[in-house]
């Protein structure tokens, strides 16, 4: 997953980023509400960890603005306050869940898994389409002929395609989400990794096909054959 952390406490943000990367997530970190909203509105994130007490724009205002603009990215609120009123205000304004500081890292990871599963076609920690299953814990993909391990970028490509089945994903979105905004990766890098994934789908006997839409991007379809 690609996760945005909006937290002005530098030490905590560094700990969160290290923890999430240790669990194979891509992470961007910003330190104020204005930047947090700008990053979030790109739509490339699977989840947002959002502190309430932020400089320039507080977390509740950021959350309200995101929801008003139609951004439905799951949001986990962080707050140093324990009052019930703060929790209710956050949930009423579109937060998916909350954690009160200090918190256990295991609970943070569990809550992230929970909010990103809601509304998606998950079975436990698996994402499925056709006869193919992607294991989000082991990064293995399985079909009729067995299972294979995906590299980090191959996994991210399949995760995006499966989560947006039958939708065309622009090449630009692959670059932004997998390589990052500041990356110098070119579109032919995507083509190379797409070819790797296609070969692995064939190897496991998958009935999924990654179709290229010329000058636009890629979509995932179930073969009728």
Domain locations in the chain?
2-117, 122-222
Per-residue confidence band for 119, with pLDDT thresholds at 50, 70 and 90: very low
Residue 123: what pLDDT? 41
122-222, CATH topology level = Arc Repressor Mutant, subunit A (1.10.10)
> DSSP code of 1?
-
Q: Token digits for 192?
A: 């190379």
2-117, CATH topology level = Rossmann fold (3.40.50)
> DSSP code of 148?
E
Query: What whole-number distance in Å separates Cα of residue 16 and Cα of residue 105?
Result: 9
List C-alpha distances in Å: 47 to 29, 62, 76, 164, 189: 12, 14, 8, 15, 25
Domains 2-117 and 122-222 in one fold: no
Residue 122: what pLDDT? 41
Query: What whole-number distance in Å separates Cα of residue 47 and Cα of residue 44?
Result: 9
Q: Over range 139-164, report the average pLDDT.
A: 90
Is the pTM higher than 0.85? no
What percentage of the chain has pLDDT greater than the value 70? 89
pLDDT at 184 over 80: no
pLDDT at 128 over 70: yes
pLDDT at 40 over 70: yes
Own/partner pairs for 166-173, CB < 8 Å, 24+ apart? 166/219, 166/220, 166/221, 167/219, 168/213, 168/216, 168/217, 168/218, 168/219, 169/217, 169/218, 169/219, 170/216, 170/217, 171/216, 171/217, 171/218, 172/217, 173/44, 173/217
Query: What whole-number distance in Å separates Cα of residue 175 and Cα of residue 181?
Result: 8
């Amino acid at each position: 997953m690609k996760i945005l952390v909006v937290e002005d406490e530098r030490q905590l943000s560094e700990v969160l980023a290290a923890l999430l990367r240790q669990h194979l997530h891509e992470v961007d970190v910003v330190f104020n509400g204005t930047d947090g909203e700008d990053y979030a509105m790109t739509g490339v994130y699977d989840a947002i960890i959002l502190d309430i007490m932020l400089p320039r724009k507080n977390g509740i205002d950021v959350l309200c603005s995101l929801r008003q603009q139609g951004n439905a990215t799951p949001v986990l609120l962080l707050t140093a306050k324990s009052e019930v009123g703060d929790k209710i205000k956050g949930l009423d304004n579109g937060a998916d869940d909350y954690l009160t500081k200090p918190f256990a890292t295991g609970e943070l990871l569990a809550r992230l898994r929970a909010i990103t599963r809601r509304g998606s076609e998950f079975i436990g920690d698996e994402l499925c389409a056709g006869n193919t299953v992607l294991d989000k814990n082991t990064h293995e993909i399985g079909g009729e002929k067995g299972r294979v391990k995906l590299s980090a970028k191959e996994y991210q490509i399949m995760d995006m395609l499966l989560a947006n089945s039958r939708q065309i994903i622009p090449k630009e979105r692959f670059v932004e989400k997998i390589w990052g905004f500041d990356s110098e990766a070119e579109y032919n890098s995507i083509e190379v990794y797409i070819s790797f994934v296609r070969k692995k789908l064939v190897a496991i006997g998958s009935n999924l096909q990654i179709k290229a839409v010329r000058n636009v991007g890629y979509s995932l379809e179930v073969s009728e054959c």
